[in-house]
Amino acid sequence: MPKIPASPATDTALSDHQPGAGQVKMTAERGNADELHQMVAAGADAAAHLTDNFGHRISDNQNSLRAGERGPTLLEDFVLREKIFHFDHERIPERIVHARGSGAHGVFECTKAIPGLTKASILQKEGASCPVFVRFSTVAGGAGSVDTPRDVRGFAVKLYTDSGNWDLVGNNIPVFFIQDAMKFPDLVHSVKMEADRGYPQAASAHDTFWDFIGLMPEAMHMIMWAMSDRTIPRSLRMIEGFGVHTFRFVNEKGDGKFVKFHWKPVLGIQSTTWDEAVKIAGADPDFHRRDLFEAIDAGDFPAWDLGVQVFDETFAAKQPYDVLDATKLIPEEDIPVEIVGRMTLNRNVDNFFAETEQVAFLPSNIIPGIDFSNDPLLQGRLFSYLDTQKSRLGTTNFHQIPINAPKCPFHNFQRDGMMQTLVPTGRANYEPNSLAEAGENGGPRASAETGFTTFAANDERNDPAQKLRIRAELFADHFSQARMFYLSQTENEQAHIASALVFELSKVMLEHVRARVVGQLRNIDEDLAKRVAAGLAIDLPAKEKAARAPVDLKPSDALSIQKNADDTMEGRKVAILFAEGSDKVAIDKLKGDIKGAGGTAFLVAPKVGGIKVKGGALKADGQLAGSPSVLFDAVASILTEEQAKALSVQSAAVQWFMDAFGHCKTIAHDEATQILLDKAGVEKDGGVVAIDKFADVGTRRHWAREAKVRDLA
Phi, psi of 345 (to 5 degrees): -95, 120
β-pairing, 634-638 vs 667-669, is parallel
β-pairing, 688-690 vs 610-613, is unpaired
Give the number of other CB atoms < 10 A from CB of residue 511.
10
Burial of 616 (0-12, 13-18, 19+ CB in 10 A): exposed
Burial of 80 (0-12, 13-18, 19+ CB in 10 A): middle
Q: Which of 215, 205, 183, 357 is nearest to 277 (CA)?
A: 205
Burial of 225 (0-12, 13-18, 19+ CB in 10 A): buried
Q: Return the CA Rg of the chain.
A: 29
CA distance 290 to 45: 26
**3-state secondary structure (DSSP) of residue 672:** helix
Residues 6+ apart with CB under 8 A from 472: 322, 324, 325
**Helices vs strands, H then E, count in the chain:** 19, 18
Q: Please give the angle made by the CA atoms of 605, 611 and 617, to the nearest 5 degrees.
A: 120
Pair 369, 119: CB distance under 8 Å: yes
CA distance 624 to 607: 7
CA distance 147 to 137: 8
Question: Residue 269: CA atoms inside 13 Å, Cβ hemisphere, count?
Answer: 20
Tell me the DSSP string of 200-214: -SS---SHHHHHHHH
Q: Which residues are catalytic?
A: 98, 171
Residues 6+ apart with CB under 8 A from 461: 374
Beta strands in 582-638 (DSSP E): 600-605, 610-613, 616-619, 622-623, 634-638
Pair 667, 682: CB distance under 8 Å: yes
Q: How many residues does the chain have?
A: 713
CA distance 177 to 104: 28
Burial of 482 (0-12, 13-18, 19+ CB in 10 A): buried
Judged by phi (left if over 0) then psi (alpha if -120 to 50, else beta), residue 256 lies in beta
Q: Which of 102, 199, 114 is nearest to 156 (CA)?
A: 102
Pair 145, 201: CB distance under 8 Å: yes
Pair 647, 676: CB distance under 8 Å: yes
Q: Determine what percent of the chain falls in helix, strand and coil, rounding each to the nearest 5.
A: 35, 15, 50
β-pairing, 667-669 vs 616-619, is unpaired
Residues 6+ apart with CB under 8 A from 552: 480, 483
Q: Which of 504, 503, 495, 505 is nearest to 525 (CA)?
A: 495
Pair 153, 171: CB distance under 8 Å: yes
Pair 24, 51: CB distance under 8 Å: no
Judged by phi (left if over 0) then psi (alpha if -120 to 50, else beta), residue 217 lies in alpha
Residue 657: alpha-carbon gap to chain centroid: 30
Cis peptide before 200 (omega within 30 of 0): yes
